[in-house]
Structure 1
Amino acid sequence: MEIGFGNGEHLAHFAARHPDWGCIGAEVHAPGVGALLQRLEAGSIDNVRVLHGDAMAWIETLPPALFALIVIQFPDPWPKKRHHKRRLLQEASAKRLADLLVPGGELQFATDWEPYAQHALTVLDATPSLENLAPGGGFSPPPENRIPTRFERRGEALGHQVFDLRFRRRPG
């Protein structure tokens, strides 16, 4: 599952490379949904289902241990302090996302906004059912499945460093 897939570059690429996986993408912006659907049609990719709407409201309805991989890339960092409560990764949402992973499943997070990266690291480290895959904790190298997207390239053009987090659902 990819939450906030933007224009679908990564999700379409991933789905094409893993035709035996069932993939789900969630996005609130209609132009991004349209861009993904065009990519899927052009590539004859048929293993993706799309949710056009708020993923967090939808995932509350799902049973636990459903996903092997949850990807969140370059979400809105809500940089103003008064807006931090709107950030996707919070204590409750991190716990819910962890519950949706199968044991051994992975949560991947990437951002080019350092304060959000630090916030996400703190939140995910405090989620008991998750373990950080970075040697010694902290940030990880980018996962092999992550390709550069328009949002990543824009951040890099602005001189922003990209921060990756990879956490695995603990067994049991």
Structure 2
Amino acid sequence: MPDPQYSNSAIRSFVRREGRITVAQKKALEELWSKYGLTLQSDSLELASIFPIQTPIVLEIGFGNGDSLARQALENPAINFLGVEVYRPGIGHLLTQIESLALTNLQLINEDGVKVLTSLADQSLAGVQIFFSDPWPKKRHHKRRLIQPAFVDLLWHKTIPQGWVHLATDWENYAIHMNMVFEQYAGFSPCLHEEIPKQAPQRPLTKFENRGQNLGHGIWDLWFRRI
């Protein structure tokens, strides 16, 4: 049984960055955030009060510009999605998509993913997906990688029994690192392709990924199930 006394105060999901924000993205943040955005008011986030229909909840940490997450929400109406991102231009972009697609099963949080996870009740998530997080390729920076033992322990506590974690990266070294960290943790088991939960949403290909594949870059998808 994993140790319930986990510590994650030193882990952060992403380095906060702003970047250039367009007029449309800024307008979306101003006009649509109150409709589709959530703010952590305390150390506890009650998911049951967020979504009008109580269905399995999937958390995505670091959704980028949100194209992939919007498509997942559209194609999986029986799943509620909670998207976490610190990049405000990406949040603004996704807000416009939620509005135009009239999505009712997707809410966003502009906050660090570890902080959001910590605020959730244990065993409240059907799954967690983290796609193309910063690989911190230099060896001296590996300690900054999100996937570390303490973070995996946090994921175990927040997912339901038989819940899943889906990771994707285009850095082979990071894929090896992530697989090693999960294999060393007794609470998760790797999933073969045929063992991937049927109810888990498929990951859409992004423009970034298509561009990488055209250049011959590899993509590694890793699935783990809570045991």
TM-score, structure 1 length as denominator? 0.89
- The answer for the alignment partner of 1:9 in structure 2 is 67
Q: Does 1:90 align with 2:148?
A: yes
In structure 1, give the amino acid aligned to 2:146. Answer: L
- The answer for the alignment partner of 2:197 in structure 1 is none
Higher mean C-alpha deviation, range 14-23 or range 34-43: 14-23
- Choose the corresponding residue for 1:127, options 171, 185, 197: 185
User: 1:84 & 1:157 partners in 2: Cα distance?
Assistant: 28
Contact 1:5 1:73 in 2 (8 A): yes
Q: Does 1:146 align with 2:197?
A: no
- The answer for the alignment partner of 1:22 in structure 2 is 80
- Structure 2 stretches of 5 or more lacking a match? 1-58, 194-199
Contact 2:72 2:201 in 1 (8 A): no
- The answer for the alignment partner of 2:132 in structure 1 is 74
In structure 2, give the amino acid aligned to 1:35. Answer: H
Contact 2:60 2:83 in 1 (8 A): yes
Contact 1:74 1:110 in 2 (8 A): yes
Question: Following TM superposition, where does structure 1 have runs of at least 4 consecutive aligned residues deviating by more than 6 angstroms?
Answer: none
TM-score, structure 2 length as denominator? 0.68
Contact 1:3 1:27 in 2 (8 A): yes
Identity across matched positions, percent = 41
* SS of match in other structure, 2:79: coil
In structure 2, give the amino acid aligned to 1:166. Answer: W
User: 1:162 & 1:81 partners in 2: Cα distance?
Assistant: 21
Q: What is the CA deviation profile of residues 2-29 of structure 1, one whole-angstrom value per residue up to 9, with x for unaligned ones?
A: 1111111121111112223221000111
- The answer for the alignment partner of 1:45 in structure 2 is 103
- The answer for the alignment partner of 2:120 in structure 1 is 62
In structure 2, give the amino acid aligned to 1:63. Answer: A
Q: How far off its partner does 1:144 sit?
A: 6.1
Give the RMSD, CA atoms, in angstroms. Answer: 1.5
Q: How far off its partner does 1:159 sit?
A: 2.3
Q: Does 1:110 align with 2:168?
A: yes
Contact 2:76 2:201 in 1 (8 A): no
